Structure 1
Amino acid sequence: MTRVQLEHILRAAGDIADDIEIIVIGSQAILGRYPNAPDALLVSVEADVYPKNVPARWELIDGCIGEGSPFHETFGYYAQGVEEGTAILPDGWKARLVPVKNANTRGITGWCLEPHDLVLSKYVAGRDKDRRFARDALRFGLVQREELELRLGTLPVEPGRIEQIRERIRVDASS
């Protein structure tokens, strides 16, 4: 997905949900801080989003411009409407959201996860594709190990899981 495609999704999701603010929590949130992120981080054709002010309308977004929709068939990418608590994020993440608002979003503000918060959510999810994304974000210098470790302690997960993620960060940062 490209930044222009994300802006299209933001515009459409905002119109559908009748909300001028859309939260982007999936991997394509990287496009908020890094509009020209490395291709290895842009393989997804979906953007995980929900309306900030009316979060219950995530289902409306998913039904209208989600996977298999005419939007998806027409453009080749889509919005995955998600619930507000889908991603497990470190304390203070809302204060660090990165805004995307320009002529292409037509007044809609997309609030993208800050890259360190995004990568930590990927470590918590722990799927293979999430690990690859986290490793690549470290490898390309889009996130720093020290900042990940600093925020790691504020994740709402059990201490054993924190240590497991800390070790994964250590390994990924040294590869």
Structure 2
Amino acid sequence: MKLKTMLDLLAEASALSGQPDFVVVGSLSILALEESFQVPHEMTMSNDVACYTRADPERIFDVLDELGEHSPRHRATGCFIDPVSPALPSLPEGWEARMTPVARPGVKAWCLDPNDAALSKYARGEPRDRRWIRAGLRASVVSLPIVRSRLHSVDFFDQQEADKAHQLIAEDETWFQRGKPPH
């Protein structure tokens, strides 16, 4: 997905919800850097914008029928809104202050800092999350020292999630030190 596509989708969500500001918490939060950085394709492969409305997070669910998965918009374009709760991602302290806003008339996307997004992805630990993180590491948009420095302040769902994140970060530190293989 491209930034324009994401903003078009959020503009539609704004028209339906009456909310102009969205917090983008998934893979596509990296699109905030698209105008100043060559974002790796592996980081933009998602077709869903995981987000919530900033001022009133529950309002994002108002757009589900029109813009969510299996909606007319999804069937027509292949892209959709994935409404999430602000409590869903496991994020470090201070993440809100590090968001990057991207705006066009009538809509603003507040996108996670790539290192904060990486921490949330380490908590999930799915293969697609690992691909996203490693693409970010190869492109130097995700920094393991920064990720490690924020790790202690992440509000993990439970100890198992915390343990998994610590293990995956250690694996990627080893992988990165060995010369960043392509996959």
Q: Same fold (TM over 0.5)?
A: yes
Displacement of 1:153 in angstroms is 1.3
Residue number among 64, 71, 74 corresponding to 1:72 in the alignment: 74
State the distance in 1 between where 2:118 and 2:93 align.
14
* 1:64-105 CA-partner distances (Å, limit 9, x unpaired): 201111111122211111111111111110111110102xxx
Letter of the 1:169 partner, please give it.
Answer: D
Gaps of 5+ in 1: none
Letter of the 2:23 partner, please give it.
Answer: I
SS of 2:51's equivalent?
strand
Displacement of 1:22 in angstroms is 0.5
Who is 1:131 aligned against?
Answer: 130
Report if the CA contact (8 A) 1:2-1:42 is conserved.
Answer: yes
State the distance in 2 between where 1:153 and 1:138 align.
20
Describe how 1:1-175 pairs up with structure 2 within 5 A. 1-35=1-35, 36-102=38-104, 106-157=105-156, 158=159, 160-161=163-164, 163-174=166-177, 175=180
Q: How many residues align?
A: 172
Displacement of 1:9 in angstroms is 1.5
Distance 1:39 1:162, change over 3 A: closer
Distance 1:76 1:142, change over 3 A: same
State the distance in 2 between where 1:172 and 1:88 align.
23
Coordinate RMSD, CA, aligned: 1.6
* 1:9-31 CA-partner distances (Å, limit 9, x unpaired): 22112222211111100100000
Gaps of 5+ in 2: none
| Deviation larger for 141-150 or 87-96 | 141-150
State the distance in 1 between where 2:175 and 2:24 align.
25
Displacement of 1:169 in angstroms is 3.4
Report if the CA contact (8 A) 2:24-2:110 is conserved.
Answer: yes
| Deviation larger for 130-139 or 55-64 | 55-64
**Structure 1 length as normaliser, TM-score?**
0.91
